[in-house]
Amino acid sequence: MAGVFSYESSEVDWCEDNYKHSEHVVEYFNTMSSFVFFIVSPIMLYLLHPYAKERSLAIHVVWIMMIFVGLFSAYFHMTLSFVGQMLDELSILWVLAVGYAVWFPRKLFPSFIKDRSTFSRLVLVVTVITTVSSFVKPTANAYALNCFGLHLLYTLAVEMRCCTDQKALRLAKLSVALWVLAISCWISDRFGCSFWQQLNFCYLHGIWHILIVMAVAYGSTLIAYLDANYEIPYSLPGLQYWPCQRDIDNKHTVQVRLELGHRAQLRKEHQKLPQTVCMGPPYKVEESGSAGFFVDIDVFLKNKGEPNTVRFKYDLFLNLEGDPPSTTCAMRSLPSTTPPETSGESWR
C-alpha cells in the first residue's frame, strides 16, 4: 500500500528532467507551473460572483475545485507517485462533471431528461462509474479526459452558430485558440520528447498548465455568459474586460425598477467615470409589465470643470411593478429636466 505513495510509483513520466533542480522535487518546472491555478481560481471566483449570486452559487464549485486541481497537480509532479497521478486526473474529471451539471444547455439534454436536477444526477452516476473505471488502466485516463475537451468544443460550436455578439465571438475564438495551443503542448511533450530534449527545452507540459488555465478561464466566462442569456435573461448579461473595461462600441447596459404611475429618471448603474449622472429622458409608466428597447441616454459629467454631455446608446430593459401584471407596457416620454449639481456625489 505504501508503494502507491512512493516517488516515481506512477507509470507516467513527463519530458522534463527529473530531480534537475531539487532532490525533493521530481519535475520542478511542472510543479511550479501548477501554482498558476492558485492565482487564477480566486480571481475567477471574484469575477463570477455577481453571476453566481443570480444564477446559482453552485457555479463557484467549479473554480473551488480548480484550486484542488492545482494542488494535486503540484503533488503529482513533485512526486510522480501513483496516488498523485490519480488525484490529479480525478480532480479534473470532477471539475468537468460539475461544469456539465451546472452549465450544459437544456436544449441539448437527452430526450428522457426533463430538468437540470435529473441531468445532474445522471452526470453524478456517470462520473462515479468513470472514477471507479479509471483505476483499471490509469495510463489511459489523460486521453479520456482530453476527449471530453473535444465534446466541449462541439457543444460550444453548436451554441455559437446563432450568436451575433461580437464580444462573445471574439472570446470563443480566443478560448479555442488557447485550448488548441495548450493541447498541442501536451501532445508534443508526450510524444515528441526526444526532439525537445535535443533542443534542451523540456518544459512544454508546464506551459500546458499555464495555457489550459487561461483557456478554462476564458471558456468558463463565455459559457457563463451564454448560460445567463438562457437561464436568467432578465439580468441583462454582458461581457466586460477585467481589470479595465475597454469600451469598444459605447453600448452599456442598465437595469431599473419603477413603480406604477411613478415618474422616474434613468441612472447609470455601472459607472465608468467619476461624478457621472444619468438624467434623461424620464418616462412615466402607464401599465405594469416589462419591455426591452434601445434608448439614447444623456450622461452629464462633472469633473473639475463645467458639466458636459455625452450621449450613450443603452440597451434598456425595464422591470415594472404593478397590479395586475401585464406582458406589455406603454410609456410616454416626459420632458427632460436640467441635471442637478452632483456636489461630488455620484448617483447610483
Question: pLDDT tens-digit profile of 134-170?
Answer: 988 887 888 888 888 888 888 988 888 888 888 899 9
Whether residue 151 is annotated as binding a ligand: the answer is no
What pLDDT, on the 0 to 100 scale, is given for residue 4? 87
Where are the chain's structural domains? 2-235, 251-333
Whether residue 259 is annotated as binding a ligand: the answer is no
Q: Give one word for 347, left, alpha or beta, with left for phi > 0 and alpha for psi -120 to 50.
A: beta
Whether residue 270 is annotated as binding a ligand: the answer is no
Q: Rounded CA gap, 164 and 170, in Å?
A: 11
pTM of the model: 0.70
Question: pLDDT tens-digit profile of 191-224?
Answer: 999 999 999 999 999 999 999 999 999 999 999 9
The Cβ-side half-sphere exposure at 67, using a 13 Å CA radius, reads: 11
Q: Rounded CA gap, 240 and 218, in Å?
A: 12
Residue pair 186/207 in contact (Cβ under 8 Å)? The answer is no
CATH dotted code for 2-235: 1.20.1070
What pLDDT, on the 0 to 100 scale, is given for residue 137? 84
Parts of the chain with a pLDDT under 70 = 1-2, 244-348
Whether residue 77 is annotated as binding a ligand: the answer is yes
Whether residue 27 is annotated as binding a ligand: the answer is yes
Whether residue 242 is annotated as binding a ligand: the answer is no
